[in-house]
Homo-oligomer: A and B are copies of this chain.
Amino acid sequence: MRTPGSLELDVLVAVAQHDGSAYGLLVRRAVSTARGSELSVGAAYTTLSRLEAKGLLSSRSTEPLPVRGGRSRREYRLTAAGREVLAAERERAGRRWGGSPQWGQA
């Protein structure tokens, strides 16, 4: 499996942090916050959809909430494969940055 792109990784992390109750607009907000810049709505959904197609996420539909405008959501959670990828990326980040710290601080 090819290593996930940078946005895909952000989305995986956001889903992991809200596992089971993560949905499109929430993920968008979380990723936007993490990046410090707005992620477009379209980018969020496209990425979620691609991650599900790759088998890293699964989703189900929920009942609409009885609040103003509240409607049915698609909630995502990590699959086992998704958790493995996330763990592998975490390790990789550790190796990438953890070694000698003499480079990387402008």
Write the residues of chain A forming the contact surface with B, with a CB cutoff of 8 angstroms: 3-6, 9-10, 13, 16-17, 19, 34-35, 80, 83-84, 86-90, 93-97, 103-106
- Give the number of copies in the complex: 2
- What are the residues of chain B within 8 A of A83 when measuring CB–CB? 106
Q: Which residues of B sit under 8 angstroms from A106, Cβ to Cβ?
A: 80, 83-84, 86-88
Do A104 and B6 form a contact, CB below 8 Å, given A93-B97, A95-B34, A97-B93?
no
Instruction: Decide: A34 near B87, CB < 8 A? Known: A6-B6, A16-B103.
Output: no
Can you name the residue of chain B whose Cβ is closest to the Cβ of A18? B103
Among B5, B87, B93, B104, which residue has its beta carbon within 8 angstroms of that of A105?
B87
A96 engages B6 (CB within 8 Å): no
Residues of chain B with a CB closer than 8 A to A93's CB: 93, 96-97
